[in-house]
Chain A
């Protein structure tokens, strides 16, 4: 067993359980299915794994129209037909008209690659089932050329899902599953210090408090997540806002400054403003 273990990088904080999940998936060469709130760094995880294990990263972004076959290969019959009429020499070899898909590229990669299948839940409900054999045996058959494509190295597969659709049991059984919990304040402090090493401690404390308070506002459609927090802090730092200003003149800090970076939904902003307004009236 290779002794390389994923421990996070200088740009990405992993919790103990996530690191364990990644390492176990790598060791046992099982696909790792990652779920979690949007903005908790699911997609970025793949980049960081590839970066830290020094392996090439191949991404396959799934859309609602993506078919499993497209990940393997596509046979471009139409251009072959056209070429045959134009008398092109390459027509004789059907292989010229097989367009390689992402999985094919992964399978023939010279070193063990990291494959990211991003947002698998976006695809049709049967999509994961169509990939069972490919992910299990790491091979597929090209009917047109009658060749069997086998993976040279079992890739490290990372699959992300946003829970739009439930995934079939047969598929889940072949994966390891990890749910990225929303980071607690201690982890969040580490994340922020990594991104903004020069942030003042009091500003950070104040910002985190407002942030977690905001997350607790009931009825928000989309709770602000880590990536939003980082954006917001960038704004605060860019404007050089002090912790005192953030706390607010009256010391109540009901409205975080520039909360537009945290709340992305118009209804949420309305709801929040209403709550703040009511809160102020009560305190008066």
Chain B
């Protein structure tokens, strides 16, 4: 039963591994919790799910899986409850102590009879919207009734929430994202673009230097320090915002977050669709505080790596013609500015969140790719990796 649950979770997009599954079984064996559905729900979530993003998926799979329980009950009703079978199940599942309690309630047979009546009674109540046997509360079967799959139907009286509700509520639905790549993976991909150099204050012990100096000093200790190794790569990031990029906001944000923490020298500017004579830093003041591209090129030296992020989906005239911009009158076509930028920064790439196989069908993407001489890469892990290699080349 649990193996099916395990595979359902994997199919449902919750990344669970065998280690975690074994840990869950260990937990059940060790009786880390009581064996109510409620506790099982929490225990399995604790052990199997490692990110709150997946809580919702887990809830859905859990609910799906335990729908089977409900179905089993209906089959039970339909089949007029073979008493023999019910008893065997009960004996299998009940402890001696519990069985004693059952005796106190008039013996198993009487109880089973009552349960059968109760279940058929509940058929009509099901239609009234009550989904689960035993959630009604004080039925004696709450504590002792098990369904054939070994799951407790009822609840403790004290419990304020009903088990089912917890996962049927799906409280974590807004945390679920089908992330193509997490920031961690992006950061790892960005690591390719590392150039270490020793700069700044000397605070690390230079072992080789110290030994050398000490030897020269006739064995008298002479400490040598060197600056720590730091990533000195410089990156100039141009991000497309608004319009068709709205679909890719999340991805761009992730890339941006990852880049911000990975590169110490990161400068970024925004543009819309295509780069013209000026760009901006703050999207709220994009009209008042713009920086001219000429100034950008003056400020940042050619040792900066230039990275464009945009879907390049626009009218071809926005790239090719003077006055082609959708926002203002541009004296020179975007392609002229792009060429200047590309000349100013020989190491440049364009990252495109659109899937690579679509590029050929959008004329402006195709155009931009040709403008960049093929240095356009998809905004996926593999794409970033290729882009970083391209930036490092030569």
Contacts and interface: CB of A to CB of B under 8 A. Distances in A.
B46 interface: yes
Interface stretch (B48-56, B309-317, B348-356): B48-56
Given A78-B205, A85-B220, A24 B46 contact: yes
Given A24-B47, A27-B27, A175-B50, A125 B184 contact: yes
A85 B30 contact: no
A266 B317 CA distance: 43
A96 B187 CA distance: 40
Contact of A176 (B47, B51, B159, B160): B47
B27 A125 contact: no
B203 to A, nearest CB: 11
B86 to A, nearest CB: 31
A28 B26 contact: yes
Give the size range of A's interface with the partner. 35 or more
A177 B23 CA distance: 13
B39 interface: yes
A241 interface: no
Contact of A17 (B30, B42, B183): B42
Contacts of B20: 173
Interface stretch (A162-170, A197-205, A216-224, A276-284): A162-170
B42 A21 contact: yes
A29 to B, nearest CB: 10
Contact of A125 (B46, B50, B188): B188
B23 A28 contact: yes
B182 A166 contact: yes
Interface string A15-52: 01100110111011010010100000000000000000
Nearest to B18: A173
A165 B258 CA distance: 9
Contact of A166 (B23, B49, B183): B183
A27 B32 contact: yes
Contact of A85 (B46, B50, B160, B221): B221
A238 interface: no
A81 interface: yes
Interface string A72-108: 0000011001101100000000000000000000000
B220 A23 contact: no
Contacts of B93: none
A182 to B, nearest CB: 10
A166 B184 contact: yes
A35 B52 CA distance: 8
Nearest to A28: B27
B19 interface: yes
B289 interface: no
A132 to B, nearest CB: 12
B226 interface: no
Nearest to A21: B46
A38 B160 CA distance: 27
B223 interface: yes
Nearest to A25: B46
B247 interface: no
B91 interface: no
Contacts of B205: 77-78
A264 interface: no
A67 interface: no
B33 A24 contact: yes
A78 B214 CA distance: 12
Nearest to A179: B52
Nearest to B33: A20
B51 A177 contact: yes
Interface of B: 15, 17, 19-20, 23, 26-27, 30-33, 38-39, 42-43, 46-47, 49-52, 55, 159-160, 171-172, 182-185, 187-188, 205, 220-221, 223, 261
